[in-house]
Structure 1
Amino acid sequence: MHRPPLAAVLVVAAALLTGCASGDDWSQRRPTPSAVGALGAGFTGPGRSPAPESTVTPSPGSWSGVRPSPGFRVVLLGAGGDRPAKTLAKAVREWAKETDVDLRTVTASGAADLLPAVTRALELHPDLIVSVGNDLIDPLTTVSPSHLAQQFLVVGAELAEPTQNVTAVEWPGASFRGEGLGTSSAYEPASFTDARCAAAVRAGAAAVLTGHTGIVVRLDEF
């Protein structure tokens, strides 16, 4: 039986290793990601696209036809070990696995690490930073206006005065806007169910992917 020269085997092996690694190398440029599919009727309502800082209440499931194009790069930015934050983080990971998203995680180790954690997420230059945990709202309020090219998705809370690059998803029981600010409804940890968090992540991602950014997506039903 004929065997290829050792040198040829090594070349092929090197090529395979390079190919496997290239998908994880975020330093390399690649085509701008896009949405696959389209929003269903009732996501934003009739007429023009929603204005920045406005609130939309999408029809249940109107976001389900949208997913990211292959290789979409997402950083899960987390803080806090409470059940709501853990449930949201789980929902982000499940969505990433389901849609073949390239996901990395940055977690703040404590109060002193909140701003540094945001900076670490920014340094990865992802297509989207998904923030979970109320403790990150004030740091994001400080940092996000200075990084308008970076898209953020805040799930289970919102910024009091978001810029065009910050999209939020909230619902009754989840509308924290920062320390010292009131909420539009009482904070209720029990409202962070698996089903609601999953819907929130998908609805928010669909909004960002279709260019409806800088708004609040409110899930009264899902």
Structure 2
Amino acid sequence: MRPPLRAVAMLAAVTALALGTAACGSDDDWSQPRAKPSPVGTLGPRFVDSVSPPAPESTVTPAPGSWEGVHPPKGYRVVLLSAGTDRPTRSLVDAVKTWADEEHVKLRTVVADGAADLLPSVTRALDMHADLIVSAGNDLVDPLVPVTANHLSQQFLVIGAELAEPTHNVTAVDWSGASFRGEGLGMSSTYDAGSFTAARCAASVRAGVAAVLSDLTGIVIWLDEV
């Protein structure tokens, strides 16, 4: 005897839901690290000197827009780690979120809850196994130092600031109005909160991610012109 049509329809619906949930779960599972993602597209010829690649910890000044041809692959996983509510930090956070939306990036956020939570927030971001952790906020510079040096397989991008002695997995994007370096060095004499414009923040995210995806890491990208 064949089962009633209603029972067949319900069974099909339950099966489809189970398959859909399983597929969604596997796609969104961040519980384990994965192979290094490859970029979609290539950098422009004037991003860096192709004949003489930048040395670790060196500063490069790419031609404006030379990073626009590089995009993250489908399913790229990014954690936005932020601290502070000042205008520059808010501008950077907005830029990362806008970029993630435009590029269909899988984005998670970690916000440090005060000074006591700075180092724990970095650890929480690390535990998410993202392809890239993007840091926004000067207060995170010093807490990042020990974590980045002890987790060399995790890529970090610091925007609007830089680590004084970065390891090869830390890339920074800076400009004359930013360049905070932590370690008691104080704020740069050229610091200008007004330099954190929407255009420069957007460019810093795109240029930094393009460099990381293209294996140009451990350097400082200088963006006085965007």
Give the TM-score range, shorter chain. over 0.9
Q: Map residues 17-96 of structure 1 onto 2, 5 A cutoff.
A: 17-27=21-31, 32-96=36-100
Query: TM-score if structure 2 supplies the norm length?
Result: 0.93
Question: What letter matches 2:39 in structure 1?
Answer: A
C-alpha distance in structure 1 between counterparts of 2:24 and 2:81, whole Å: 25
Contact 1:26 1:124 in 2 (8 A): yes
Out of 167-176 and 26-35, give the one that drifted further: 26-35
Q: Map residues 133-148 of structure 1 onto 2, 5 A cutoff.
A: 133-148=137-152
Aligned to 2:171: 167
**CA distances 1:150-181 after superposition (whole Å, capped 9, x unpaired):** 10000000000000000000011110000421
Query: TM-score if structure 1 supplies the norm length?
Result: 0.95
The 3 A distance-change label for structure 1 pair 180 and 12 is: same
5+ residue gaps, structure 1, are none
Aligned to 2:107: 103
2:158 match: secondary structure: strand
1:21 Cα offset (Å): 2.9
2:8 match: secondary structure: coil
The 3 A distance-change label for structure 1 pair 182 and 208 is: same
Q: Map residues 172-211 of structure 1 onto 2, 5 A cutoff.
A: 172-182=176-186, 185-211=189-215
C-alpha distance in structure 2 between counterparts of 1:23 and 1:175, whole Å: 37
C-alpha distance in structure 2 between counterparts of 1:32 and 1:173, whole Å: 33
**CA distances 1:54-81 after superposition (whole Å, capped 9, x unpaired):** 0000000000000111011100000000
The size of the alignment, in residue pairs, is 222
The 3 A distance-change label for structure 1 pair 107 and 185 is: same
1:129 and 2:133 are equivalent in the alignment: yes
1:4 match: secondary structure: helix
Contact 1:175 1:185 in 2 (8 A): no
1:14 Cα offset (Å): 1.1
1:7 Cα offset (Å): 2.0
CA RMSD, Structure 1 to Structure 2 (Å): 1.7
